[in-house]
Each structure stands twice: as structure tokens, then as C-alpha cells.
């Protein structure tokens, strides 16, 4: 009985601490809505104006501790970032043990915790979840966390620490990192005692893993030269550290928009999202014709490339272009090694993928394409169905996954010629060049540079593989974004009833026309995407569809 009393006391102490700390991080009343703010854990976790986030981040700390205990003490990651959003926003998301996004079933638990009405209700939700999942609250819990360079980051990290303290979790604060670096560290910690550890579980281990593999695959190439717009975010400082670990004879990086110590400049007229949506050069760049340029986003999990020609015309090389380049190169190496029938390559895209890219991958490369709803968690899962799964959103967020079976096939392969050996060796090295836990701008930069060097291509050669259809993306403010429900990987509207038929009528009037509407995952708006044979027609179609949905 004494032992049971001790266990009960541990639980009571946790619940008391949860309530006491919660009182220091109350939910904020939303004056514009006349009510407490309602939160939803979406594709990007929780993301909004930083003023509303303190209570949410505190509660995420509680959930992270429970998630770790539910997985027998495996280390869980928590990243505080709002990626490409403006500086006044922030966000928080959880990372599961293998560096992947939070398991989907736990998103509802996160939402419930964030919306608990009172301190007592929060403690009750914590206890209810532990009981429903049979989580032993005496078990150890381990959590690591980091943040980007936003001014609100330190205060939100302090709120997270309170949540971890209240729930009795062991914690390590990695301070300022890119989002992919924290994903890497989480997986490295959780695989450290396995036969195949992912890497040294720290920031320097990340640089060593990428730089060593890159140097090996670039042994007789280079130097590659690239200018990178760091969006005035965390990526600039971390990219400089990576570049310093790579010999100049392989890679030379010029970093612009690197004012990470001025948080108010974050993503201002620069960064991957700005370049992608505005289809123009970021501020602070004066590109040399035909030279390779790239832009990161605020937390360095996205990258897009671009160049200008001799007439200073701008050409964007986005996530679709990256996916097609990676699929082409990997397929070529597999054919060279004679492994194309043993290791199956597939590409995963979303509805935002340009129609020309999909046709090129399927019809020219002869590589299958899977289309999923928007959100990396959907693409990542679909990519795992292939031996080598290439996934990129058009915005530049993505990576390449090599299955364990594919890695074993490469490791055990007995080459019959120098050409076969070279192909297999390069494929094996690519596995370590690529951060396979999540889309990683710095890792993807090395991947693209590697492929261009091996093919002796410049950005114009890369771009000439296929020509994008002109496209337009329009943001439309609506009364209720949740009234827009979709099917067919978000390519067709189910609700509001009848709207899809009207969109179809508009699309049928344009050659190579395509358009879809989906609710934003982070703001009260819907996105309208359209493409057509000419720029004028793509713009016209997008605006007509936007006009159609704006009254719903």
C-alpha cells in the first residue's frame, strides 16, 4: 500500500505543478473575436502571432513529456519557429523519435491541451490522456528543443521549459538551430545505441556527416560556386558553419541577407517563400548571368534556386525542378549500375506541382508519381513506399528517402565494371549527403550542387530539361476557410457544394488549364492555384476562380 501511495503522490505532485505553472502562462483573450483564441495543431504545428503563443508552448511541453513516456523514454524534439512567416509570428511543433513529424493521432491531443479552458482543465486533460493510453507518469521523459532567431523565441522557450519542468521531463536546450538540425539531433540520439546510428547527436556531428559525404562524392569535381540568400534568419549562421567544414576546392558559398541579429528583417523581401511567390530576385542580390543562386526560408527547411540570363531575365528553379533533377540523376546512376529493376524510384508531389514537371517525370524519366495532400507529413509517408522516394513541395520543402533495403542492396553490390562501381559508390554517398529525417535546405543545397557538378551543368542546363507552365497562386480571404473541403489529394472541392462544377467550367475554357482551391493551414484564407498555356491565361484563370470563391 505504501508503494501505491508513493505512486499516487508522484501523480498528484505533477498535477499540482502543472496547475501552478499554467497559472503563469494563461491563455490570451482575443479582442478581435471577443473570446479566447481557439488553436489547432496543423501541418506546421501551432503557428500564429507570437502574442498568443505562450500558453500553447507551455502546454506543448506537457504533451512532449507524455509522448516521450508513451514511447518508453525515447527523446522527443520541440522546435520553436514560424519558418517563412513574418517576424511578429512564431510557432511550435513536435518531432518524433526518428526525426519525423508528430504522429497524426497525437495532433488531436495537442489541440485539446492548447484549448483547455482553465489550469484545472489542463491538468485533467493531462491525467485523462495518461490514463487512456496507459502512460506511466513515473517513467523518465526526455525532450530536446531549439528555436530560430525571432525576438519572441527566448520567452517562448522559457514557457516550454516550464512545461517540461512541471511534467518532470529531462531536457536539453540546443538554443538556436535550424529546424532540420533539430530533427537530425533527435534521430541521432534515438539511434545512438543501435547497430546503425544516424550520426553524432549534436550540431557539430551534423556538419561532419554532411561535409564528409559531400567531400567524398565531389572528390574529382569542383569547385562549385553558389550565392545563398539566407532570409536574414538562422540559416545564414548555420550555413556558414557548414561551409567552413567543407574544403574550398569543393564548394564556395557567398551568403547574402544574413542579418540574423536583426530579427525584424527576417523574411523581409527575401527568402524562399518571397522568391517563389513573387517570382523575382530577393533584395540584396545582383546576380551574375547564368550563375547559381538559392534562397533559404526563415528556419532553413526550404530552398529554391534561380538564375538570370544574359538579358537579366529571372528563372526560378523550385521544388518541382529539384525533384525532377534528383529523380533523373538517381535513375541514371541506377541504370549505370544495372540496379534499375531492383531499386524502385518514385516521386511524390502535391497538387501545387507544375503540370509540366509531372509529365516530364512520368513520360520522359519513366518514374512513377504519387500525389498527396499538402503537408510534408503526407509526402514523407508516401515516399517511404518506394525504395528511393523523392519528395518535394513546389515551395522547395523536401528530401530523398533511401529505404533500408536499398541501402543494403548498394552495400552488398558486387560491381562488374569500373562504371558500375562508380555509380554504386556515388549512390551510397548520396545517402549521407541527404538529411533523410526531413526537408533540409542546407542538405538539399549540397545535393543539387553535387548533381550539377557530376553532370557538368549550369542552372540554365538544368532548367532546359522541361519548361514550366505559367502559373499563379492567389490568396483569398473568406468568411470560413473550414467550409472548404476537398478530395483527390486536395485537387477537387467537395464543399461548398456546386463550386467545383463552376471551377471546371472555367478551366475548360483554357488550353492546358488547371486550377484548384484549398483552405490555408495557417491563416483564415484559401489558396487558389491556376496554370495555363500562357502567362496571361494563367493569371486570368486564377483571378476568375478567386472571384468565384471570395463570397463563401
Answer yes or no: 245 catalytic.
Answer: no
Q: What is the 3-state secondary structure (H, E, C) of 52-81?
A: HCHHHHHHHHHHHHHHHHHCCCCEEEEEEC
Q: Which of 22, 55, 68, 83 is catalytic?
A: 83
498-528 b/e (C-beta count within 10 Å ≥ 16 → b): ebbeebeebbeebeebbbbbbbbebeeebbb
Beta partners for 296?
303
Please choose, from the candidates 272, 323, 314, 535, the residue with its C-alpha nearest in 3D space to the C-alpha of residue 434. Answer: 323
Q: How far apart are CA 311 and CA 333, in angstroms?
A: 35
Kindly report the length of the chain. 552
Backbone angles phi, psi at 345, to 5 degrees: -100, 140
Is 287 buried (19+), middle (13-18) or exposed (0-12) by CB count in 10 A? Answer: middle
HEC assignment per residue over 373-433:
CCCHHHHHHHHCCCCEEEEECCCCCEEEEECHHHHHHHHHCCCCCHHHHHHHHHHHHHHHH
Strands 485-487 and 398-402: unpaired
From the number of C-beta atoms within 10 Å of its C-beta (0-12, 13-18, 19+), residue 30 rates as middle
Strands 514-519 and 525-531, by their bridges, are antiparallel
* Enzyme catalytic residues: 83
Amino acid at each position: 500500500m505504501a508503494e501505491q501511495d508513493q505512486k499516487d503522490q508522484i501523480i498528484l505532485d505533477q498535477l499540482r505543478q502543472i496547475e501552478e505553472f499554467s497559472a503563469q502562462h494563461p491563455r490570451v483573450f482575443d479582442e478581435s473575436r471577443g473570446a479566447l483564441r481557439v488553436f489547432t495543431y496543423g501541418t506546421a504545428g501551432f503557428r500564429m502571432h507570437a502574442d498568443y503563443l505562450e500558453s500553447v508552448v507551455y502546454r506543448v511541453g506537457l504533451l512532449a513529456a507524455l509522448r516521450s513516456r508513451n514511447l518508453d523514454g525515447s527523446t522527443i524534439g520541440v522546435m520553436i519557429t514560424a519558418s517563412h512567416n513574418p517576424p511578429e509570428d512564431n510557432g511550435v511543433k513536435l518531432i518524433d523519435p526518428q526525426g519525423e513529424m508528430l504522429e497524426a493521432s497525437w495532433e488531436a491531443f495537442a489541440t485539446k491541451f492548447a484549448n483547455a479552458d482553465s489550469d484545472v482543465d489542463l491538468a485533467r486533460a493531462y491525467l485523462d490522456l495518461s490514463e487512456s493510453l496507459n502512460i506511466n507518469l513515473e517513467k523518465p521523459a526526455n525532450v530536446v528543443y531549439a528555436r530560430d532567431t525571432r525576438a519572441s523565441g527566448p520567452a517562448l522557450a522559457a514557457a516550454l521549459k516550464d512545461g517540461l519542468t512541471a511534467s518532470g521531463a529531462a531536457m536539453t536546450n540546443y538554443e538556436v538551430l535550424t529546424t532540420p538540425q533539430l530533427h537530425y539531433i533527435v534521430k541521432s540520439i534515438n539511434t545512438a545505441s543501435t547497430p546503425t546510428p544516424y550520426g553524432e547527436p549534436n550540431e557539430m556531428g551534423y556538419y561532419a556527416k554532411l561535409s564528409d559525404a559531400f567531400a567524398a562524392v565531389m572528390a574529382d569535381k569542383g569547385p562549385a560556386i553558389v550565392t545563398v540568400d539566407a532570409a536574414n534568419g538562422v540559416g545564414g549562421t548555420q550555413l556558414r558553419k557548414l561551409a567552413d567544414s567543407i574544403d574550398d576546392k569543393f564548394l564556395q558559398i557567398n551568403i547574402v541577407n544574413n542579418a540574423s541579429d536583426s530579427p525584424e528583417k527576417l523574411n523581409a523581401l527575401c527568402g524562399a517563400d518571397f522568391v517563389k511567390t513573387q517570382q523575382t530576385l530577393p533584395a540584396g542580390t545582383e546576380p551574375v548571368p547564368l550563375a547559381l543562386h538559392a534562397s533559404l526560408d526563415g528556419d532553413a527547411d526550404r530552398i529554391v534556386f534561380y538564375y538570370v540570363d544574359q538579358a537579366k531575365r529571372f528563372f526560378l528553379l523550385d521544388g518541382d525542378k529539384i525533384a525532377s533533377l534528383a529523380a533523373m540523376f538517381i535513375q541514371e546512376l541506377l541504370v549505370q549500375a544495372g540496379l534499375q529493376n531492383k531499386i524502385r524510384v518514385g516521386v511524390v508531389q502535391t497538387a501545387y506541382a507544375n503540370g509540366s514537371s509531372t509529365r516530364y517525370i512520368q513520360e520522359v524519366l519513366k518514374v512513377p508519381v504519387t500525389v498527396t495532400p499538402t503537408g510534408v507529413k503526407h509526402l514523407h509517408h508516401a515516399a517511404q513506399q518506394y525504395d528511393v522516394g523523392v519528395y518535394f513541395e513546389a515551395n522547395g520543402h523536401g528530401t530523398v528517402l533511401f529505404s533500408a533495403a536499398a541501402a543494403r542492396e548498394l552495400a552488398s553490390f558486387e560491381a562488374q565494371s569500373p562504371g558500375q562501381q562508380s555509380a554504386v559508390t556515388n549512390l551510397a554517398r548520396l545517402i549521407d549527403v541527404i538529411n533523410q529525417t526531413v526537408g533540409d535546405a542546407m542538405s538539399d543545397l549540397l545535393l543539387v550542387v553535387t548533381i550539377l557538378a557530376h553532370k557538368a551543368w549550369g542552372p540554365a542546363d538544368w532548367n532546359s530539361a522541361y519548361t514550366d507552365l505559367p502559373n499563379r497562386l492567389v490568396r483569398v480571404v473568406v468568411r470560413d476557410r473550414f467550409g472548404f473541403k476537398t478530395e483527390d489529394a486536395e485537387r477537387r472541392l467537395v464543399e461548398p457544394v456546386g463550386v467545383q462544377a463552376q471551377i471546371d467550367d472555367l478551366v475548360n475554357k483554357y488550353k492546358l488549364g488547371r486550377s484548384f482551391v484549398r483552405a490555408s493551414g495557417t491563416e483564415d484564407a484559401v489558396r487558389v492555384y491556376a496554370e495555363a498555356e500562357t502567362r496571361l491565361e494563367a493569371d486570368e484563370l486564377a483571378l476568375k476562380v478567386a472571384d468565384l470563391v471570395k463570397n463563401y
